[in-house]
Amino acid sequence: MVAVTAAVAVLFWLLHRVGWSTIRTAVYSVGWTGAVVLVGLALTESFLDGAALWTIVRSGLPWRFAVVVNAAGALLNLVLPWESGEVLKGSFLRKSLGSKDAIAGTIIWNYVFKISRPAVSALTAVLGWALGRHLVDRFTIGLVLLANLLAFTPYVVLRVLIRFGAAGGLLRILRFIPGVRRHPAHWVELARNIDLQVQTFWKTRPADFMRVFVLQAIARSTGWLSIYAAFRLVGLPYGFPEATLMYATMNVAEYVIAILPARVGVSESTAFFAFKFLGLNPSLGVVVYVILRVRTIVANGLLAPFVFLDWGGQPPVVLAAPPATPTPSGRS
C-alpha cells in the first residue's frame, strides 16, 4: 500500500509539473477519433493474445471466452503488480478446463510470452538503430541494444539449468535468495514441470506453438504502433524512428519495474526518464503514457465483464503431460 501510494503521488507530481492545461490540450488533440484508434489498437492486442490462449487450450473452449479471460487478466495486471492477472486467468479457465489444463495453458502462454516479447523488443531495437542513428548518440543506442539482448538472459539461463540437469547448482543459488531459502527444491521442481509441459506442447503440437508465438508477436507490435499513433495524435514532433526507440527502451524498463510492488503510476513515471534518456520531451512523454494507460484500461474493461457469462463448452484433455518414463523405443 505504501509503494502504491508513493507511485501515485509521484505520478501526480509529474502531471502537476507538466501542467494541467498542457494535459488538457493533449487530450483534446487526441479527440474522439483518436481515442477510437487507440482503443481499437488495444482491442486488437487483446483479441490476438486471446487467440493465442485459445490456440493452446482450444478444444471445448469458445475462442471468445479465451479473449475475455485474457482481457480480465490483463486488466488486473494493469493495476496490481507481479502478474497477478495470471492467477485470475487460471481461475476462470479452471471452470471450463479443470485445474490441470487451466494451469498448463496459462503456463504455456506465459512461457511463449517470455520469448515473443523480447523478440519483438529486440527487433525494434535493431530497427531503432537502423532508423534512428541520427537521433541519439552511439552510447545510447548501444545501451538500448545491449539491454534488449540481456532481456533474453533469464529465459536462456533457466533453459540451460533445467535442460542439463543443473538442479544442484540452482538449489545452491536459491539458498542465497531471501524469501526462497526455506523451499528451494519447490522452485526447481516447478521449473522442471514447466519445462516438461512446454516441451510436450512443442513436440506434440509444433504448429500451434509457432501460431502462439506469431499471434503474441503481432499483439506486441500493436503496442509499438500505439506509441507512434499517440505521438501523431498528441501532436508531438516525433516519427516512426522515435516511436521504435521508445518501444524498445520501455520494454526493457518494464522488466526492471516489474519487481516493484506497484503498477499504477510506475510505468508513467518510468516513461519520464525513458524520454529524457532518448533526448525527447519527458513531460509530454508522461502525458502520452497516461493516455495509453487509460485507453488500455478502457479496452480491457469493455471485454472483461463478459467473462462472467455462461460460455458452455466441454472440458478438453489436450494439455496433460505424458508419463515421465519414455517408451522403450524412445519415441512418443
| Highest mean pLDDT (candidates 2-11, 196-205, 222-231) | 222-231
Residue with cell 531471501: 178
Span 125-139, mean pLDDT?
89
- State the CB neighbour count (10 A cutoff) for residue 46: 24
Span 58-66, mean pLDDT?
83
Encode pLDDT of 296-310 as tens digits: 999 999 999 998 887
Cell of 161: 539449468
Question: 258 versus 323: which is more confidently predicted?
Answer: 258
Query: Of the ranges 14-18, 29-33, 35-39, which one carries the lowest mean pLDDT score?
Result: 14-18
Q: What is the DSSP string of 28-81?
A: HHHHHHHHHHHHHHHHHHHHHHHHHHHHHH-TTS-HHHHHHHHHHHHHHHHHSS
* pLDDT exceeds 90 at position 40: yes
* pLDDT exceeds 80 at position 281: yes
pLDDT score for 268: 81
pTM over 0.75: yes
Q: What is the DSSP string of 148-216?
A: HHHTTHHHHHHHHHHHTTTHHHHHHHHTTSTTSSS-HHHHHHHHHHHHHHHHHHHHH-HHHHHHHHHHH
Span 164-187, mean pLDDT?
54
pLDDT score for 316: 47
Span 86-114, mean pLDDT?
82
pLDDT score for 85: 79
pLDDT score for 34: 95
pLDDT score for 331: 44
